[in-house]
């Protein structure tokens, strides 16, 4: 049944001729009403995004924890104002490296409708962000949403505040126009995604037989398109994030006075970091590459058929040469092969200037993106054993301590699920194209647990642009993606309502 046919049903009781005449028009008018409302409220939607981006909800910086709590309150308030039954779920405390603890941000849940004859979708998203400072190289203040040529710049604009708001606006639009929601809608919005979703696993386990019992489908819009073509995402990589701390002298030392007499922690650290990955991108930790599921001919063909401009990709990131030059290798290494990234070294001298210091303690931060069939628990042991062995070969008097602080699994969907059909139809209706079927190189830490714990199917329905600069300087979402994305969600809810109830 489509929008037209649904209207047909509601006309029962009117004369056949009248229904026939109305049949082709009323459903379309309803969809037009909804999308017209979206268009005419664009500025209001942008203003709400502005307020949300202004909150520095950086989950990795504990000095920003009160902002994060404020962000969860704002989210709950927004959902309450549009009529949801909202709960703020306490998920306990976060254990910090120094042995102390701090409150985790509450998880916000909300419910709109509980008609047993309708499907129930649960929208998952997050409102915490990655760190950002103007001096990192932003052209504008990262926490002041700035519109430049229809692009809305600000930290968290695309990851994931605008997509969460687009979902909230979707419900708001139905309610404002007094049009019944075609499905029951639940929300689960968290504030720790960017640091591994601390507390959420336990929460979904605890609410498996309450909040999740009537949920049929889980929808996540925390990813982006591959090109200008809308996409459906059927896989994400996982992430094992490590700290490797090398400590030596009890305090920082003058390199002129002490250099040449002590084994420097930084030298040890760089030495072992260099053992993780070869210059050509080969992971050197035994066992990792062997675990990776082979690329099938079918998958190769899917990648081959995807529209992806390698030259444009290079230009977008400002790079002359990539590690792989053909599309299939590039996509495969972005989506379905593991990789090692070294993110930073805490304790290193990194300010401008020429301080001649020997840092006493340095901590490297690196992560390995996981793919099927890797297991974070196994990777933790492989990495720890390997680095300890490499370190002991150096015969250094310093100490090495390796810890895994995030262990998020990869996720892969069954694209034959009717949810994907609903996604395709919604994209077709709003954008008049077939979506790309893509995987995501990034991680949604909770995706696999959602599936394992609740047994529900997941669809990732992105609205972010391919060039949104997630985690980077000048993150943005375009007005086009924000507004048309909201229409996509409206259309998608309708399509889900058409899936046969089991």
Ligand X SMILES: CC(C)C[C@H](NC(=O)CN)C(=O)O
Q: Which residues bind ligand X (CB under 6 A)?
A: 159-160, 194, 196, 222, 239, 406, 408, 442-445, 470
Shortest reach from residue 406's CB to ligand X, in Å? 5
CA distance 128 to 105: 10
CA distances from 329 to 283, 302, 306, 322, 441 (A): 16, 12, 12, 11, 13
Q: Which is nearer to ligand X, 190 or 222 (CB)?
A: 222
CA distance 423 to 173: 20
In the block, tokens 């062997």 appear at 290
Shortest reach from residue 90's CB to ligand X, in Å? 23
Evaluate whether 228 touches 326 at the Cβ level (below 8 Å). no
CA distance 482 to 115: 29
Shortest reach from residue 155's CB to ligand X, in Å? 12
- Among candidate residues 476, 457, 463, 412, the one with its CA nearest the CA of residue 435: 463
Which tokens hold the place of 203? Answer: 């929460």
CA distance 370 to 196: 14
Evaluate whether 161 touches 53 at the Cβ level (below 8 Å). yes
* CA 69 and chain centroid, separation: 20
Shortest reach from residue 441's CB to ligand X, in Å? 8
Q: Which helix (H) or strand (E) holds 203?
A: helix 200-206
β-strand pairing of 184-190 with 399-408: unpaired
CA distance 483 to 126: 19
Determine the residue with CB nearest ligand X.
442
Could you tell me the maximum CA-CA distance found in the chain, to the nearest angstrom?
98
Shortest reach from residue 78's CB to ligand X, in Å? 20
Q: Which is nearer to ligand X, 84 or 445 (CB)?
A: 445
Shortest reach from residue 195's CB to ligand X, in Å? 6
- Among candidate residues 484, 496, 494, 399, the one with its CA nearest the CA of residue 457: 496
Catalytic residues: 128, 193
Helices (H), 341-442: 376-393, 418-431
Task: Write the burial class of residue 265 (CB in 10 Å: 0-12 exposed, 13-18 middle, 19+ buried).
Answer: buried
Q: Which is nearer to ligand X, 109 or 239 (CB)?
A: 239
CA distance 454 to 35: 33
Evaluate whether 441 touches 371 at the Cβ level (below 8 Å). no
Shortest reach from residue 194's CB to ligand X, in Å? 5
CA distance 31 to 429: 10
Evaluate whether 430 touches 189 at the Cβ level (below 8 Å). no
β-strand pairing of 217-220 with 457-460: parallel
Which tokens hold the place of 171? Answer: 């419900």
Shortest reach from residue 371's CB to ligand X, in Å? 13
């Amino acid at each position: 049944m489509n929008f037209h046919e649904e209207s047909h049903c509601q006309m029962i009781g009117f004369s056949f001729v009248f229904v026939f005449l109305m049949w082709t028009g009323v459903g379309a008018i309803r969809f037009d009403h909804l999308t017209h409302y979206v268009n005419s409220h664009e500025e209001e939607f942008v203003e709400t995004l502005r307020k949300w981006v202004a909150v520095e909800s950086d989950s990795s910086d504990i000095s920003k924890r009160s902002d994060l709590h404020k962000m969860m309150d704002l989210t709950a308030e927004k959902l309450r104002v549009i009529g949801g039954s909202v709960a703020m779920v306490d998920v306990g405390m976060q254990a910090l490296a120094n042995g102390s603890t701090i409150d985790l941000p509450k998880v916000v849940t909300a419910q709109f409708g509980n008609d047993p004859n309708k499907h129930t979708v649960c929208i998952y998203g997050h409102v915490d962000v990655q760190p950002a400072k103007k001096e990192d190289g932003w052209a504008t203040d990262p926490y002041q949403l700035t519109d430049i040529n229809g692009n809305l710049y600000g930290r968290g604009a695309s990851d994931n505040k605008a997509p969460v708001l687009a979902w909230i606006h979707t419900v708001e639009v139905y309610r404002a126009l007094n049009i019944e929601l075609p499905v029951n809608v639940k929300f689960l919005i968290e504030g720790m995604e960017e640091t591994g979703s601390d507390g959420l696993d336990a929460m979904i386990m605890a609410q498996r037989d309450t909040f999740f019992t009537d949920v049929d489908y889980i929808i996540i819009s925390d990813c982006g398109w591959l090109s200008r073509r809308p996409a459906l995402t059927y896989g994400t990589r996982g992430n094992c994030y490590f700290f490797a701390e090398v400590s030596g002298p009890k305090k920082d030392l003058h390199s002129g006075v002490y250099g040449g007499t002590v084994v420097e922690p930084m030298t040890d650290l760089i030495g072992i970091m260099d053992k993780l990955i070869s210059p050509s991108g080969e992971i050197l930790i035994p066992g990792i590459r062997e675990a990776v599921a082979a690329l099938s001919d079918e998958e190769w063909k899917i990648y081959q058929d995807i529209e992806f401009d390698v030259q444009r990709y290079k230009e977008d990131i400002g790079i002359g040469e990539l590690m792989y030059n053909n599309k299939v290798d590039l996509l495969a290494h972005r989506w379905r092969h593991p990789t090692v990234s070294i993110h930073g070294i805490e304790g290193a001298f990194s300010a401008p200037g020429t301080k001649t210091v020997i840092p006493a303690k340095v901590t490297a931060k690196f992560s390995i993106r996981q793919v099927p069939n890797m297991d974070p628990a196994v990777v933790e042991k492989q990495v720890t054993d390997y680095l300890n062995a490499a370190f002991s070969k150096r015969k250094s008097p310093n100490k090495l301590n390796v810890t895994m602080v995030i262990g998020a699994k990869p996720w892969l969907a069954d694209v034959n699920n009717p949810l994907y059909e609903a996604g395709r139809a919604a994209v077709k209706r709003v954008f008049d194209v077939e979506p790309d079927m893509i995987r995501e190189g990034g991680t949604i830490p909770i995706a696999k647990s959602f599936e394992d714990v609740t047994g529900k199917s997941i669809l990732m329905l992105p609205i972010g642009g391919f060039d949104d600069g997630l985690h980077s300087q000048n993150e943005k979402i375009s007005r086009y993606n924000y507004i048309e994305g909201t229409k996509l969600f409206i259309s998608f809810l309708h399509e889900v309502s058409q899936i046969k109830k089991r």
